[in-house]
Amino acid sequence: MNLMKLWEKHISRRSFLKASGVATGTMLFLSGCNQSKDDDVEADSITNVETVSANTENVTVVPTACYMCAIYCGAKAVVGDEGRVLRIEPNKKDLTSGGGLCPKGNSGVQLLYDADRLKYPMKKTGQYQWEKISWDEAFDTIYEKLTDIKEKYGPETLILMNRRGHYASLLKGFASNYGTPNGPFGSGSICEGGKRVGNKLVLNNTSALADYKNSKYIILMGANQMEAPRYRLAFPKEIIEAKRNGAKLVVVDPRFAYSSAKADEYLPITPGTDAALLMGMAHVIIKENIYDKEFVENYGQGFDIYKKEVLKDKYKPENVEKITGIAAETIIRIAREFATAESAVVDSSSGLYMWSNAVQNQQALQSLNALVGSICKKGGMVYPRGGKTNSIEFTNNATEKKYYAQAGYPSYKGNPHDGNRNIFPAAILTPEAVPAGPLSNAKTTSVNNGNGIKAAIIYNTEPVGAQMNGKLTKEAMEKLEFGIVIDLYLTQTAEVLPVGGIVLPECTYLERTIVNKPTSFVPYLNINQKVTEPQWESKSGHWIFVKLGKRFGYEDFMAMDENDEVGAARDSIEGVEQADGSFADWDELTREGVWIGKDIEPKYGDYDKLKDGKFQFALVGELDEVQELYLKVGGGVTAEYVEPKNRPSKEYPLYFMAGGKVIWHTQTSTRNIPYLMQSFDKNAIVKDTNYLIISPTDAEERGIKSGDRVLVKSKTNEVEVETLVSERVPKGYTHMTHGFGHDAPTLTLANNKGANCSLLVDEKRMDLANCLTAKEETCQVYKI
């Protein structure tokens, strides 16, 4: 059956709410994917807010914030008279959410009361074998093991990883006191590090936000913002508002996703060729002399170098057509429309940044925005001006270089890429012969005097499920001398710790208090407030890290009170001047759940934040450290199209793209929640699993039908998976969502559900920001 028809049979909102017990809850709900050019999508079909007043019930409403993903949407927890959380509702005053919640937000109650949660500290005694221990024994064991490793091999042999842990600053403080430079590394190097480095090169800032609401022409490239928005849940609502006000939405994507369905124009593109399209559009705009000369003259640097590159023959529309598969006449028309619109912006997400040409893609994207004057302009790209909090200063005892810098990989100042998690398996398994990076003259190199990595602290992240070539990650984790996992569950990463490893149960966001700084155009904060006491023996990250620091005797932690996280939250905003000169009000923050400064609109004309007040069309003149290092590792002086390193071949003729964000999940972290796994709907035609999606043509050539089991094979590995034949992917293209394939027996719903697509991706192929290239893999598919 055609997937277009299948998606029209989407699970109803009523079914979800009835199954969840949220009879009057609120969710961000996307209507069916029928293509429309008549703005048939009303705002309520994107953020359908129907919160029932709590006054009609014997309940207490506690303002808090959702943390089912890292967006930090403001929310309200409805608590019954017996102290049980009944449901999660949106906070209509919250800016980052636009007053709505997505399905993940609605399902936070199931996370809170999940019987599969990690309930108390545990010590590994054998494969899938654990024993319950006390918190004191856990801290004593960690102290003894890490002290021994530090004395034997040096503190730099400890690595720390974090993705969604709220208290990463305290974990970083522990690392600094201990003396390791290795972390905590976030998710940038397994996600979109290329975007951050690209932005830093040209904008002098790792972040930039598209002002969708005020734009008249929006191009989304590899960004499924209408289904799974990055940074702000309000983006879909703002895009719809822009469309109502006359904006045109163009979506460029190989895959026909929800955003494609809501576009005024959808352009399927050959994967990995986005910079060619961007440069081709710039070629037309410069050739026809319709660029913003005032911006270029007043706020541009190196334009002549950029212009010379853009006007090369390879960027002529007829040549770009051969690269991208988009017709030359379409490229010309879109370029003209973009350049002459009252305001315009082109933006992307991870679709452009999990390729070996990721940084170049971002240079090209922002250079096109700059070419039409859409930098620091209403309806264009603007600098975020979110709320500020105090940062605790910790003693830094680290003396060695980061492990990946020793191996010849760039270590950009300020870590705009969040470090490098990619080669840590090699640093464990072959520490004397780690694959070397672009700054090394050798093919392999020694790390930490041949000691490599001996211990790891893994905080709310899943390297076994998230790292590319997860099989190698498993082997590496098992070879550690000691490992610690701090999480909500006994994860698959915990299960591959060496015997003697420790797991510590952190509580959920509903069981603790902390102030958040959501991504925002204006100064604003929201707050997680404790809604209920921690379940079982779980503890907040604040309590865990302060206690751990005290056990090691670190002076920086001795004055802290592990039991006063409310005081710590209040102290985090005390005396902090916000970007508009205001100061956050604690009483207002805790009463309303949000605090908003006096500036309530984005700030335009912020050109002084550019390096020397200039957009860097080319990296010329006096360069900063990031620009110098980027050129040193092989980056170009100006934007350009660079062919991806890996392309289909006779042996592996199909593109294989791992990933693709969906509204229902946050990668591996939500796979044990029944609502999100759609286990409540037995009649659903398309289940929530990571099918291998394959085009009808490619399926027919292989004798494959929807529901067949197939073997997907790449140069790195192979997996078995169920297929879904669909016209939503073009010929030569396959796709799987990630986060599946858990090997964690205590996660009764997630265990052995689907396949881990990350197993297929080469972990050694990176971009110039040390970022993994998950969307650049190729494969062959065989019917089983």
pLDDT confidence of residue 632: 97
pLDDT in tens, 201-225: 999 999 899 999 999 999 999 999 9
Contact 485, 491 (CB under 8 A): yes
pLDDT confidence of residue 57: 67
Which has the higher per-residue pLDDT, 168 or 29? Answer: 168
Look at residue 377 and tell me if it is in a domain: yes
The mean per-residue pLDDT over the stretch 266-286 comes to: 97
Same domain for 582 and 464? yes
pLDDT confidence of residue 8: 33
pLDDT confidence of residue 242: 97
Look at residue 641 and tell me if it is in a domain: no
Given a cut of 90, whether residue 502 has pLDDT beyond it is: yes
CATH number at residue 50: 2.20.25.90
CATH number at residue 564: 3.40.50.740
Report the DSSP beta bridge partners of residue 76: 63, 89
What range does the domain containing 715 cover?
654-761
Q: Where are the beta strands (DSSP E) in 247-363?
A: 248-252, 265-267, 300-301, 345-348
pLDDT confidence of residue 33: 31
Domain count, the chain: 4
For tokens 């070879």, the residue is: 479
pLDDT confidence of residue 21: 37
Report the DSSP beta bridge partners of residue 594: 526
pLDDT confidence of residue 52: 41
Same domain for 685 and 549? no
The mean per-residue pLDDT over the stretch 336-356 comes to: 95
Q: What angle do CA 47, 50, 53 make, to 5 degrees?
A: 140
Same domain for 537 and 435? yes
pLDDT in tens, 758-772: 999 999 999 999 999
Q: How many other C-beta atoms are found inside a 10 Å radius of the C-beta of residue 715? A: 15
pLDDT confidence of residue 35: 34
Rounded Cα–Cα distance for residues 370 and 176 (Å): 39
Same domain for 372 and 400? no
Same domain for 429 and 467? yes
Query: Residue 694 belongs to what H/E stretch?
Result: strand 692-694
Look at residue 637 and tell me if it is in a domain: no
Rounded to the nearest integer, the mean pLDDT of the chain is 90
Rounded Cα–Cα distance for residues 101 and 89 (Å): 7
pLDDT in tens, 408-446: 999 999 888 888 999 999 999 999 999 999 999 999 999
Q: Could you give the percent of the chain with pLDDT greater than 70?
A: 91
Look at residue 668 and tell me if it is in a domain: yes
Among 25-34, 101-110, 499-508, 574-583, whose mean pLDDT is lowest? 25-34
Rounded Cα–Cα distance for residues 47 and 155 (Å): 49
- Confidence class for position 618, pLDDT limits 50, 70, 90: very high
DSSP code string of 459-499: ES--HHHHSSSHHHHHHHHHT-SEEEEEESS--HHHHTSPT
Rounded Cα–Cα distance for residues 739 and 461 (Å): 12
**Phi–psi pair at 656, nearest 5 degrees:** -120, 120
Given a cut of 60, whether residue 16 has pLDDT beyond it is: no
The mean per-residue pLDDT over the stretch 242-257 comes to: 95
Rounded Cα–Cα distance for residues 100 and 316 (Å): 44
pLDDT confidence of residue 11: 35
The mean per-residue pLDDT over the stretch 181-200 comes to: 91
Look at residue 745 and tell me if it is in a domain: yes
Given a cut of 90, whether residue 685 has pLDDT beyond it is: no
The mean per-residue pLDDT over the stretch 393-416 comes to: 94
Look at residue 756 and tell me if it is in a domain: yes
Which has the higher per-residue pLDDT, 42 or 718? Answer: 718
Which has the higher per-residue pLDDT, 40 or 250? Answer: 250
The mean per-residue pLDDT over the stretch 465-492 comes to: 95
Same domain for 377 and 397? no
Burial code (b: 16+ CB inside 10 Å, e: under 16) for 725-751 equals bbebbbebbbbbbbbbbbbbebbeebb
Which has the higher per-residue pLDDT, 369 or 753? Answer: 369
- Confidence class for position 684, pLDDT limits 50, 70, 90: low
The mean per-residue pLDDT over the stretch 232-241 comes to: 94
Q: How many other C-beta atoms are found inside a 10 Å radius of the C-beta of residue 397? A: 14
Boundary (domain end) residue, out of 596, 623, 640: 596
CATH number at residue 669: 2.40.40.20
The mean per-residue pLDDT over the stretch 700-717 comes to: 96
Burial code (b: 16+ CB inside 10 Å, e: under 16) for 4-25 equals bebbeebbeeeebbeebebeeb
Burial of residue 241 (CB within 10 Å: 0-12, 13-18, 19+) is middle
pLDDT confidence of residue 119: 97
Same domain for 344 and 454? no
pLDDT in tens, 142-164: 999 999 999 999 999 999 999 87
CATH number at residue 202: 3.40.228.10
Q: How many CA atoms lie within 13 A of 326 on its CB side?
A: 30
pLDDT confidence of residue 164: 75
Look at residue 778 and tell me if it is in a domain: no
DSSP code string of 489-546: S--HHHHTSPTT-EEEEB--GGG--EEE----SSSEEEEE---SPPSTT-B-HHHHHH
Same domain for 429 and 538? yes
Given a cut of 70, whether residue 68 has pLDDT beyond it is: yes
Same domain for 455 and 526? yes
Same domain for 660 and 738? yes
- Confidence class for position 324, pLDDT limits 50, 70, 90: very high
Same domain for 511 and 469? yes
Among 262-271, 326-335, 446-455, 663-672, whose mean pLDDT is lowest? 663-672
- Confidence class for position 190, pLDDT limits 50, 70, 90: confident
Same domain for 175 and 199? no
140-146: long-range pairs with CB below 8 Å, 24+: 140/551, 141/500, 141/502, 142/484, 142/502, 142/548, 142/551, 143/551, 143/552, 145/455, 145/481, 145/482, 145/500, 146/178, 146/455, 146/482, 146/552
- Confidence class for position 679, pLDDT limits 50, 70, 90: low
- Confidence class for position 675, pLDDT limits 50, 70, 90: confident
Q: Could you give the percent of the chain with pLDDT greater than 90?
A: 80
Look at residue 501 and tell me if it is in a domain: yes
pLDDT in tens, 747-760: 999 999 889 999 99
- Confidence class for position 12, pLDDT limits 50, 70, 90: very low
pLDDT confidence of residue 220: 97
Q: For residue 176, give both structure tokens.
A: 């600094």
- Confidence class for position 391, pLDDT limits 50, 70, 90: confident
pLDDT confidence of residue 682: 63
Q: For residue 201, give both structure tokens.
A: 């090169």
483-487: long-range pairs with CB below 8 Å, 24+: 483/455, 483/456, 483/457, 483/458, 484/142, 484/455, 484/456, 484/457, 484/458, 485/458, 486/165, 486/457, 486/458, 486/459, 486/460, 486/541, 486/544, 487/118, 487/458, 487/459, 487/460
